[in-house]
Structure 1
């Protein structure tokens, strides 16, 4: 797909997502039209490094420990038994306050591109749904639930196999109520594809306006 075509498609998609955000905001008057309720946790992200495959991104390739703020929430705020989408948002203060957003999807080569209801998060976990650019190609991120508020972290090149790179542990509940924005606060080593920015940006602008922010 040419850059012109991808920009046009992502632009239209962004307008549709923005319209959906505004529609939800109109139906439910709340400061956050999306992900209105959830749990916020303080956590630790342990990067193990040493994976057999490397992607040229230190955050994925090298060992380390990151403090992290984590929010688990449903996208629309429907009851837990409903077909809402579950989200897992990470904020990394040590990486320029980067925001990484994951959502409940499948984990297979094709199902990782498909949003699934919240109950699926307990089985296949969360993925980035949209890829991040790296020197070796597009990379997807995944957080797979484990026992005792733990998640196994992995990445995959395109539709390839998942490669473990670390673990996320939720330590304690936090009173903070952050608003996450992966367009304004990208990871300094991963960034965003131009078409991903165009797809996401209008919805986040709409969400900020609904909260009275610029």
Structure 2
């Protein structure tokens, strides 16, 4: 019998695929700003038994900030934070603007400020229990792509990455330091937070089961394979 959440994901996937075929664009987060970045992990203060969260390390990364529905910039939108660590086994983080409380972080919230709190409504499994990730900028940021590009090009854009276990507080474990705009500004780049979950943190729960068919349908509709590395092009230094 088909899992109810997988089945719901398939229905959503059909709708997303139809939109993608008609518009020839991404059905969600149609436009954004891509930048080169460095992920600097310093480790979580309270270990969870996952080296990627507990231990220090540094990786080159690609960051895409976007508006989910492509609404006019005068209106709030659910904003997206998509981080890729390229490589043979890439890591993709897909976060959206949510609340910051133990329950409100499970709810998508429209925002104007791209420096707001982003969260992974989808859970990850760890030896310490269910984990959800969060990110927030160290300063406010515009969400309109043209204004955001200017702000990123000016330098000094940084985000904090944090992880919460269960209903506990989100504890910082890393920072994302933006190092330059990508050229072209928004190259084709598809993320898969289930297939490319962080090492030791498999995606889990109903949201993960819903996302699998939705990701596949959106990629197939656009005729684009899942990229496992950095986007084509180059980073423009600050």
Same fold? TM cut 0.5: yes
Equivalent position of 1:173 in the other structure: 181
**Is the 2:60–2:85 contact (alpha carbons within 8 Å) kept by the matching residues of 1?**
yes
TM-score where L is the length of structure 2: 0.78
Equivalent position of 2:26 in the other structure: 32
Q: Identify, as 1 or 2, the structure richer in helix.
A: 1
What is the RMSD of the two structures over their aligned residues, measured on CA atoms?
Answer: 2.2
Bigger drift between 107-116 and 147-156 goes to: 147-156
Pairing 1:187–2:179 present: no
2:209 aligned to which of 195, 198, 202: 198
Length, aligned pairs only: 206
TM-score where L is the length of structure 1: 0.86
- 1 CA distance for matches of 2:36 and 2:166? 30
Equivalent position of 1:48 in the other structure: 42
Pairing 1:107–2:130 present: no
**Is the 2:52–2:199 contact (alpha carbons within 8 Å) kept by the matching residues of 1?**
no
- 2 CA distance for matches of 1:121 and 1:140? 20
Pairing 1:84–2:77 present: yes
Structure 1: tracts of 5 or more residues without a match: none
Runs of 4 or more consecutive aligned structure 1 residues displaced over 6 Å after TM superposition: none
Q: Secondary structure at the match of 1:72?
A: strand
Map residues 138-177 of structure 1 onto 2, 5 A cutoff. 138-147=130-139, 148-175=156-183, 176-177=187-188
Q: Secondary structure at the match of 1:36?
A: coil
**Is the 1:41–1:174 contact (alpha carbons within 8 Å) kept by the matching residues of 2?**
yes
- 2 CA distance for matches of 1:69 and 1:160? 29
Structure 2: tracts of 5 or more residues without a match: 140-155, 226-238
> What's the CA shift for 1:58?
0.6
Equivalent position of 1:97 in the other structure: 90
CA deviation string 1:85-105 (max 9, x = no partner):
110001112571111101111
Q: Secondary structure at the match of 2:60?
A: strand
> What's the CA shift for 1:16?
4.0
1:18 aligned to which of 2, 10, 13: 13
**Is the 1:139–1:158 contact (alpha carbons within 8 Å) kept by the matching residues of 2?**
yes
